[in-house]
Amino acid sequence: MSTPEEQIKKTTFDYIVVGGGSAGAAVASRLSEDADVEVALIEAGPDDRGKEVILRLDRWMELLESGYDWDYPIEAQENGNSFMRHARAKVMGGCSSHNSCIAFWAPREDIDEWEQRFGATGWNAEMAYELYRRLESNEDAGPDAPHHGDSGPVHLMNIPAHDPSGQALLDACEQAGIPRTAFNTGETVINGAGLFQINRQADGTRASSSVSYIHPIADRPNFTLLTDLRARALRIDEDNTCTGVDVVDGAFGRTRALTARHEVIVSAGAIDTPKLLMLSGIGPAEHLRQNGVAVRVDSPGVGEHLQDHPEGVIQWEAKQPMTETSTQWWEIGIFTTTEDGLERPDLMFHYGSVPFDMHTLRQGYPTTENGFCLTPNVTHARSRGTVRLRSSDFRDKPLVDPRYFTDPHDMRVMIAGIRTAREIVAQPAMAAWAGEELYPGAEVQTDEQIRDYITKTHNTVYHPAGSVRMGAADDTMSPLDPELRVKGITRLRVADASVMPTLTTVNPNITVMMIGERCADLVKQARAASTQDRSVGATAS
């Protein structure tokens, strides 16, 4: 593997993708399929090849707050846990190299809403499901799921039913009125529980975007991978055309200028993408001025509409020894509703076969070495937060303010989640497994007591999204048009979770890869149209 000094011998490319994460790896891989274009992929973190702690999916929890984590603190929360941190991966593959690889196709209603409610023309379930098929191979889909792909780069598999406590939990869900179900069948699961599908290879290697899209093409002649290079600012000329990006190498601290002949695609994620745009003069004008950044485009929606899946936790001591092996320790999902008439579930649980005391221990709650937990999370939180600059220095972490539970809907759903978790675990099927409830504890019963517990101890499912959303061309609060182009700047697009008008009901990682696939299609279409225009012009002359 080359050093940053050796890497940047070439500085001009047709396309530059900033961020080697879930979407960025897909964009770069697909664009480089055209042998006539030169593509560079820039990643601030290291290469993941040869790093077992990254590649082994069952070690993912070791990565939280590690050297492979940007580890963003959040601003003080008026209604939430101010100790909480947003893990953002600092390595090739981005959060797909850092997460538990829970693999979901989003409900059709989620994607259709982007088009119907927000004016993101072309973003609908028909489009998305075609791209889901293209990006995945799914040997476990079975004959009842003919919609699945069989030759895509991202390998999906069913989690095997090896955990006896987990199987008892699924029995308990049935006893509580939540039937067993399969996921990724093409139908929206409003009330159901089952083992997840995950993007993992048969040998236990995570099928991250890096493993799936970049490892196979790393030696492609027209593809250049540049790691350990941090984007400082986009290069934008006097005509508001993006011509490239300034990067700083981690080894020597030197700024280099990289040039894009055609387009730059920013795929730095829902926290770092708005930061980079603002550092480049694209964002809320007054905020930019306050931080000494010259305003190129007054785009008030940059850094707005930050969304997430807030997560609570309820933990039990186990009466029997818990499993000592797992694909990734969080193998079961439960969906249900807290009110009638919903077309999508408003409550989701992840089941963990390990203790989860990240925020409870500091509050004095007991812990265990042998336990299981359920983590209720709000699938469609209504609270909205912001990402802002801390200063004009690219090295400073941004100000991340999720504003958790500022909409009372979210706390209502979370309180209902704690009560539903107790109802499930109280069923006969869990009698041989469920010992003492460690937190919040059996004495915490009233809404007020549960609210206080959640406020002090809640976490996130690490799903920030929506901070540079796409929308109708005339929507001033949507910084992007439906083709992911940054309004007011030419030759610049965004492709990552920040573009989502609303966060998906489910874990969004596969959808973020789908966004990368869609972006590559849009760029290819623009290139084809430009080539045709030049051809017609030459013929006419």
Question: What is the C-alpha to C-alpha distance for residues 440 and 487, in angstroms, rounded to an integer?
Answer: 47
The annotation status of 245 as a binding-site residue, yes or no, is no
Residue 149, SS3? coil
Chain centroid to Cα 34, Å, comes to 27
3-state secondary structure 224-280: EEECCEEEEEEEECCCCEEEEEEEEECCCCCEEEEEEEEEEEECCHHHHHHHHHHHC
From the list 148, 305, 350, 463, the catalytic residue is 463
Q: Is 463 a catalytic residue?
A: yes
Question: What is the C-alpha to C-alpha distance for residues 40 and 256, in angstroms, rounded to an integer?
Answer: 14
Yes or no: say if 163 and 353 are a contact pair by the CB < 8 Å rule. yes
Yes or no: say if 245 and 263 are a contact pair by the CB < 8 Å rule. no
Residue 15, SS3? strand
3-state secondary structure 457-522: HCEECCCCECCCCECCCCCCCCCECCCCEECCCECEEECCHHHCCCCCCCCCHHHHHHHHHHHHHH
Question: What is the C-alpha to C-alpha distance for residues 270 and 88, in angstroms, rounded to an integer?
Answer: 9
Question: What is the C-alpha to C-alpha distance for residues 360 and 457, in angstroms, rounded to an integer?
Answer: 6
- Strand residue runs (E) in 306-365: 310-311, 314-318, 332-336, 347-352
Residue 383, SS3? coil
Question: What is the C-alpha to C-alpha distance for residues 505 and 108, in angstroms, rounded to an integer?
Answer: 10
The contacts of residue 219 (CB under 8 Å, 6+ apart) are none
Burial class, 310, CB count within 10 angstroms (exposed 0-12 / middle 13-18 / buried 19+): buried
Q: What is the CA radius of gyration of the chain?
A: 23
Both tokens assigned to 202:
């048969």
Question: What is the C-alpha to C-alpha distance for residues 139 and 137, in angstroms, rounded to an integer?
Answer: 6
- Residue 114 dihedral angles phi and psi, to the nearest 5°: -60, -40
- What single-letter amino acid sits at 62? E
Both tokens assigned to 296:
């190129």
Phi-psi region of 430 (alpha: psi -120 to 50; beta: other; left: phi over 0): alpha
The contacts of residue 213 (CB under 8 Å, 6+ apart) are 25, 26, 28, 29, 30, 153, 154
Query: What pairs with residue 520 in β-bridges?
Result: none
Measuring CA to CA, which residue among 246, 262, 148, 152 is closest to residue 197?
148
Both tokens assigned to 307:
């969304």
Write out the catalytic residue numbers: 463
Residues placed in the known binding site: 91
Residues placed in the known binding site for FAD: 91
